[in-house]
Chains A and B, each alone.
Chain A
Amino acid sequence: MRSSVIVFPGSNCDRDIAVALQKMQFKNKMVWHKETALPKSDLIIIPGGFSYGDYLRSGAIAGKSLIIEEVVKAAKFGSLVLGICNGFQILTETGLLKGTLLRNKNLKFINKDVHIKVINNTTKFTSKYKLNQILKLNIAHNEGNFFTDNDHLKELNNDNLIAFKYSDEKGNTSNLSNPNGALDNIAGIFNDKKNILGMMPHPERMVDNLISNKDGVNLFSSLLG
């Protein structure tokens, strides 16, 4: 499996994702934001970080960058695209994913381990997980409060486009298990063709028992097929 990681100057989870991909035997390339063509790849990843500083709206400038045009083209041809954290924010800025990510409800940066529940395990990103499986992943963001309009929310529910929801360790999804105020506890969504996944939690931080756990591993092994 060939993967490409887009590196913006303010990306800061690029090395982390590269380490995880290497561990999982992906053939990975790092793609600098000033490049105008993508290497041939089956999977494009937009990593976490602060793309161009994010002093405007998170991901707003990155959503207009040259390399992102190439990502949009590739995505429309069906290439798999994974946006994590800032990557998810950028995907909503490009329109590849609908909805937006607002400031966390408590108006603070939040870094902690949270539980998420697998809502759809029939996609190329999630097939190795069990339906309703509870994962413990790490979140680290200022703007992770997912919001969208009613029509899109209906579409997300009707077409099974919700990937993960924040839950407690038993799988209950409620305000108590919602770290950032996200609509319906949504932590990750697919586009209608399910070749694009945007998620706020960091699976790449969960591939090593020494620093955390291995709950992120199956996302990568799902992608390997």
Chain B
Amino acid sequence: MEIDNKIIEKHGLKTEEFKIIQKLLKRSPNLLELGIFSAMWNEHCSYKSSKIHLKKLPTKGKQVIQGPGENAGVIDIGDDDAIIFKIESHNHPSYIEPYQGAATGVGGILRDVFTMGARPIALLNSIHFGSPAHPKTKSLLNGVVSGIGGYGNCIGIPTVAGETKFNDTYNDNILVNAMAVGHAKKNKIFYSKAKGVNKAVVYVGSKTGRDGIHGASMASAEFDDNSDEKKPTVQVGDPFTEKLLLEACLELMRDDSIIAIQDMGAAGLTSSSVEMASKGSLGIELNLDKVPCREENMSPYEIMLSESQERMLIILEDGKENHARKIFKKWDLDFIIIGRTTNTKKLTLKYNNKIEGEIPIEALASKAPIYDRKWTKKALPKSKFNIKKLKHIKLEDGLIKILSSPNHSNKSWVTNQYDQMVMCDTVQKSGSDAAIIRIHNKDKAIAVAVDSSANYCKSHPISGGKQIVCENWRNLISVGAKPLAITNCLNFGNPENNDVMGEFAECLEGIKDACKYLNYPVVSGNVSFYNGTNNKNIYPTPVIGGVGLIDKLSQPINHNLKEDKNLLILIGKTFGHLEQSCFLKENFSMEDGKPPKINLINEKNNGEAVLELIKEKYVLSCHDISNGGLLVALSEMSIGSRLGVNINKPKKLVNLIEYFFGEDQGRYILEINAKNLSKVDKILKKNNIYYENIGLTQKDYFEIDGEMKIDINDLFKINNQWYNKF
């Protein structure tokens, strides 16, 4: 059949890109080959718009075993233990079909982690919805939350942390990012690089169906006219099969039968086979008639481009076939040799012994186009804000407005739908600054957290990029963990728009600066462009997932106050930065101005000092100050424990609104026993850390000297009503 411009366009390729394909092949591709190019050269697989910027990120460090480029990143947590983790987006499918979109997002990220030999031990997510008033938000929220829960609960991996946010910018394009964290032995990590010629290429897992086929509408119309064969393009998740696949793979991974292994994620069989061959500088030959299909008469095009879930491709050592087959049979999964590695450096696709397509591997991988797209810098917004012109508002009213808002209300409506305890190593569940997961049978643990700050990133991308890394770092510090490395999910609008590309480049610049200074490298990640509808792009929303280590686990630290009459100290300086604050947004619907300044030196010093205090066991509870400032942070410490506080008014003559709601960075609140104050003071002085005594814990009342006094139960109620009413 003739490949015309219409078909090229439907495959998401530009005319110039088609010309490059013709040049690389020295002929025109057939439809199957065109489909494969389109799958490999799309933004999701090729990172063609992002690559040159991603290269700037720091990815190395003593703690890094494997950085970006594999299925997931791998870090060293001492002894013979490694942690394997990654975050990925499933934004578009979740908007079309929230339950399955979110569920398969979880399934996909889990496979990335167990493909490398890790048993997944924790799931996290970052989900962003449009305005609660938008007619679709409620059903999207319901669908996404039950989809995330449905998958994780069934496969039996605890969903331990995350964030749920609302903002108009996501009205027509929600974000669903899922992160998986696994544990492996350092000497038992599996990679996707093929080695050796004539090795068996094995297909395992679920059968291949017509779901998720790229450009499915066109494909079905082109191949046959049976319109009843059209299936939805969103994949359908089967967590039970994934559980079987997980257990079977981990069982096979006990010995050295596997040379290389790769899950079939985006672009299914195409990207998995090309990736393995490309990394090993080999060729690969597949007999597509051998691929187990769920439906009859599937064409090579459909087989290669199906995104059916719960499938893996394995390259096996010679003589291990029977051994491996037995394991997959035990778990009732398909196990079929569908091809061999070759020395041709080509992807050769056969169907009933006839060659249906043949493409040099490098044309699909290293020769894929890379774009240095135009981008524009964003200047720091000029301050127009003047606190003196702001209508007077009482502290109490400002706080209540924030605590009862959708973005700050207690999220147990969401988190109660996730099994947070299965596997019995969840030391700290969601609701704290970071979750804590014990390494099974050991007395050490990891802390995990995800963060994003879209409004800061929108206002000034470099500051925003820095800020999320710092906030994530602080969250891990606050539970007593040493931050080790991050994964990032970069959700942006259309990269062909100079402003969006500028947001991308500059957010990355900020992330880079912070990661470098904090020795907090990026070991894995994912880019999601084209988040927007009708030329309206979402706010730049990079999401950071961090992992830290608690090397000696005793009593976990969280932000719930412990006892009355303890001292509360505030680490870090308060300047009262209100622009871009949630106080102004929730109380005055103001969103202008610049984000708070990030001082990386202070971040690092303050964080390390807090970590030292926690290690010395002087800290009873700890909370980092972020959105909402000091007062919101204090109220969160109170609400969780139903213990009150009595806070002094600041001694210096400052504006109370600025002092209590300003979002200055690098700050923490610590609860300490008064008898330890001199020792704490000594450590903080030694490290040149600025701190203030801000008050005491007390029973029953949340109080600011002479300004406000609320019954702690009322505060709890204010914070716990929005979801139930929604």
Contacts and interface: CB of A to CB of B under 8 A. Distances in A.
B431 to A, nearest CB: 11
Contacts of B417: 108-111
B238 interface: yes
Interface string A196-210: 000000101100101
Interface stretch (A7-15, A74-82, A161-169): A7-15
Contact of B421 (A19, A55, A212): A212
A15, A50, A53, A109 — most chain B CB neighbours (10 Å): A109
Nearest to A10: B240
B154 interface: yes
B153 to A, nearest CB: 6
A16 B240 contact: no
A12 B426 contact: no
Contacts of A111: 153, 415-421
A138 interface: yes
B146 A210 contact: no
B281 to A, nearest CB: 38
Contacts of B551: none
A160 B422 CA distance: 31
A16 B149 contact: no
Interface string A105-146: 000111110000000000000000000000000101010000
Interface in B405-428: 412, 415-427
Contacts of B149: 109
Contacts of A52: 240
A13 B421 CA distance: 10
Contact of A211 (B153, B415, B438): B438
B293 interface: no
B153 A140 contact: yes
Contacts of A138: 421
A9 B438 contact: no
B613 interface: no
A7 B303 CA distance: 34
Contact of A205 (B416, B421, B553): B421
B240 A50 contact: yes
A138 B416 CA distance: 11
A211 B154 contact: no
Contacts, number: 85
Contacts of A109: 146, 149-150, 153, 417-419
Q: Which of B416, B418, B420 has the most CB of A within 10 A?
A: B416
A16 B422 contact: yes
B424 A208 contact: yes
Interface in B326-347: 330-332
Contact of B332 (A9, A54, A55, A212): A9
A12 B159 CA distance: 14
B435 to A, nearest CB: 12
A16 B423 contact: yes
Given A52-B240, A210-B553, A108 B427 contact: no
Interface string B437-465: 01000000000000000000000000000
A53 B438 contact: no
A211 B240 contact: no
Nearest to A140: B419
Contacts of B547: none
A63 interface: no
A49 interface: yes
B267 interface: no
Contact of B423 (A9, A15, A142, A212): A15
Contact of B238 (A53, A110, A112, A204): A53
Interface in B283-313: none
Contacts of A204: 424
A53 B154 contact: yes
A48 B419 CA distance: 12
B244 interface: yes
Contacts of A211: 421, 424-427, 438
Contacts of B247: 9
Contacts of A9: 240, 243-244, 247, 331-332
Nearest to B412: A112
Interface of B: 146, 149-150, 153-156, 238-241, 243-244, 247, 330-332, 412, 415-427, 438, 553, 556
5 contacts: A12-B155, A12-B243, A13-B156, A140-B153, A140-B422
